[in-house]
Amino acid sequence: MLRNCPVIQCFEHDRLMVDDDGLFTRAHWRAIGEYNEKYKDRFLTLLPNGVKFSEYVGVIQVGNLTIEVLPKIDRMGGEKADWQAVLLDMLRECRWMQVFAHEKAALRHKPNSILEAYVELYLQACEAILHEGLVKKYRQESSNLHVWKGKLNFTRQIRHNLVHQERFFTDHTIYDRENRFNQLLYKALNIIPNLTTNTGIRDKLSRLLLDFPEMQDIPVTAETFQQLVFDRKTTRYREALEMAAMLLLNYRPDIRNGRHQVLAILFDMNELWEEFCFRRLRAVMEPGWGISRQNRVVFWQSESNQKWIKPDIVVKTPDGKTVIIDTKWKTPNGFVPSDDDLKQIFVYNKHWSSNKGVLLYPLNESGDPFQKKAGTYKIPGSTEQCECIVAKVDILTGGTVKRRVNMDFGRFVIEGLEGDSSDSPQIQQAKRLMEGFSNV
């Protein structure tokens, strides 16, 4: 059982060295190294005496230590607690933490970490399912009974009951709550005591387990979740099971004496930024506009292989034009994009017959909430020109302290694509909204 659970907060691409603060020890470093090796160095880089985080953000729990990896735009203002709130806001908006908009303030206990917030959301989902009633399903069972039930299993009857003629070994059908849906929820509930020392959360878990019938412990792999078939009765389980999958599939218990179990719930910040931009743009689009994402098409093929391209976001304007938006969670050198970014947007423009592409970055400087500079591709021997706009958008509110995600930032982008963003009534309104947040 965890006696305490200290939290270390780092930013993406930061380094965390052993014994820098007395919390991250060599035992933690070894446990993370073993976990990282399993995933082929995907989430971080192991250093000789520490770790270096990548573009993945979220939470890693190693034994009694919680490590939060937070996003940050060039260390732009705000404290770590503010950036924790920013990450939670983005995860909720993208439904990656499976929480509806009206539940954003539903956490009853102030979480010390992102993991505690995630765990409490899972408890809320299980509580709602239990309140509605756990689903029952038919299942086959073979057992040695004192009463005849179902079909007699002659082979086992002879083997087990030759001298016990008062018993019947039968194959029969049972209709109860012992099924994969409830077993997975129950298994995830039972690892929570290893993840948090928050007394409010643990009390809530204890009350929930009192009402939750005991289930058989089952082995869990990714295929276990993939094989689930949802129907009218079990569709309400979907979100809770997605959270259970995050807990169960990323939890690596280590039963060897003196070793630490590891749980990692990490999100690619590039993918989160893309999803967040898409959702906020879609939310503010007026009639006549269209938006889609990840339109994958074959770019190159041979007899045995294919290569695909897929722009992040494709926007259709009311006058029928196509605008390609490629999101980038990084900060360019001023308004000069990299060669790779330019080549990528050029290919998208050509393939989708678009004359305007946008490289969309988060804003890392003060000034207007939407800033852009346009350049054109010059194609030798052709009068055709394609425009590439380097755009930066402020996704945050609150000045340099108490920063939160500005859920209205999509208007900056849409108005900026239509023309001069600084004179747009919607942009002016959004600016006044931001000023109001700053004065709170």
* Residue 17 DSSP code: E
Tally of CB atoms within 10 A around 377: 16
- Domain residue spans of the chain: 7-134+179-269, 137-176, 285-438
Confidence grade of residue 388 (pLDDT, cut at 50, 70, 90):
confident
Q: What is the mean pLDDT of the chain?
A: 79
Q: 185, exposed or middle or buried, with CB in 10 Å at 0-12, 13-18, 19+?
A: buried
- CA–CA gap between residue 43 and residue 36 (Å, rounded): 7
Percent of the chain with pLDDT over 70: 81
Confidence grade of residue 436 (pLDDT, cut at 50, 70, 90):
very low
Least confident of 14-18, 94-98, 228-232, 235-239: 94-98
pLDDT at 360: 92
pLDDT at 203: 92
Q: pLDDT digit string (tens) for 173-221? A: 766 788 999 999 999 999 998 888 788 889 999 999 999 999 989 998 8
Q: Tell me which of 159 and 351 has the higher pLDDT.
A: 351
- CA–CA gap between residue 111 and residue 120 (Å, rounded): 9
Q: pLDDT digit string (tens) for 334-386? A: 888 888 998 888 888 888 888 888 999 988 777 777 888 888 877 666 666 77
- CA–CA gap between residue 329 and residue 11 (Å, rounded): 14
pLDDT at 109: 37
- CA–CA gap between residue 187 and residue 69 (Å, rounded): 27
